Structure 1
Amino acid sequence: MEESKNVSGAILYGIIAVFLLAIFSSLIFSLLLKFTSLQESSLQFIITAISFVSLFIGGFISGGKGKQKGWLLGGLTGLIYSTIIFLFQYLGFDKLFDFQQMIYHICFILTAMMGGILGVNLSNKSRNA
C-alpha cells in the first residue's frame, strides 16, 4: 500500500509540474503574440520544443520522487498528460487525435519516460554520495 501511495504521489508531482510549465509558457507566448508582431506559425517549433522539455521535466520529477522504476513513473506521467489533453480535446471540441497528434503524444510519453529514468538515476546518485 505504501509503494502505490509513493507511485501515485510521484506521478501527481510530475503532472502538476508539466501543467504548471504549460500554463507559464502559454502565458508568456500569449503576451508575446499580443504585444509583438510575432505570428503563431513562427512560434510553432518553439512551442513544440517547450512541450517536450516540460514532459521531460515532469518525468524527471516523477522519477526523482519515486526513486525507482523511472521508466514506469515517467511513462505514466506522459500517458496521464496525453489522456487529459485527449479528453479536453474530445469533450471540449468534439475532435479526436489525428495521426500527427498521435505521433506527438507517443513521443511525449517516450520523452517523459527518459526523464523518469534520469530522475531515478540522479536521485539515487545523490542519495548514495
Structure 2
Amino acid sequence: MNSLKPIVRPPRIASPLIAGVIYSIIWLALGALLLSFMLYFSSMKENNLPQYSLAVHGFSALAGGFVSGKRSGIKGWYYGALLGLIYGITVLTIGFLAANSGLSVKGAVMLLAAILAGALGGMIGVNLKK
C-alpha cells in the first residue's frame, strides 16, 4: 500500500529576520498568556509583573534570535542582535501607541535585554545548524 504524501507543503519563510520576528511574537503571546494565568490562578501580585514580563521579553527575543541564527547559517550574533533590536523597537512602539507610555529607563533596559538575548540566541542557533 502506498503511503500518502502531502501535495501541498506549508510555506517556508525565506528571510531569517521575518521568521525570527514571527517566532518571537508567538513566544511573547504565549508568555503573556502564561503570566495572565499566573496572575489569575495563583497568589502572584501585580507588583512582580515587571520582572516576569522582562523575562518573557528576554526569552521571546532569545527564541527569535535562535530561529534567525539557525535560518541564516552565518553571523548568528548579527542576525540575533538585529532581531532583538527590531523586536524591542516593535514592543516599545506598541506600548507607546496602545498605552501612551513614553521612553523610560525600563524601556531602555528591555531594549538592551532583547538585543543581548537575541544575539545569544542567534549564536546558539547558528552553531546548531546542520
Change over 3 Å in CA distance of 1:122–1:19 after alignment to 2: same
**Comparing 50-59 with 76-85, which one deviates more in the overlay?**
50-59
Match of 2:88 among 72, 75, 82: 82
Deviations 1:61-118 (A, max 9, x none): 1000111111221111111111111211222233322023212211210210121122
- Work out whether 1:23 is the aligned partner of 2:11: no
Rg bigger for which structure? Answer: 2
CA–CA distance in structure 1, aligned partners of residues 62 and 107 of structure 2? 18
Q: Give the aligned length.
A: 118
The residue type equivalent to 1:46 in the other structure is Y
| Structure 1: unaligned runs, 5 residues or longer | none
Contact 2:19 2:67 in 1 (8 A): yes
**Comparing 49-58 with 36-45, which one deviates more in the overlay?**
36-45
- CA RMSD after TM alignment: 1.9
Higher helix share: 1
The match for 1:11 is 17
Match of 1:32 among 13, 33, 38: 38
The residue type equivalent to 1:98 in the other structure is S
Change over 3 Å in CA distance of 1:22–1:118 after alignment to 2: same
Alignment of 1:43-122 (within 5 A): 43-122=49-128
**TM-score in terms of structure 2 length:** 0.79
Change over 3 Å in CA distance of 1:90–1:47 after alignment to 2: closer
Aligned-pair distance for 1:43? 4.5
Deviations 1:6-63 (A, max 9, x none): 5xx1111111111111111211221221233321223543332232122111101100
The residue type equivalent to 1:15 in the other structure is V
| Structure 2: unaligned runs, 5 residues or longer | 1-12
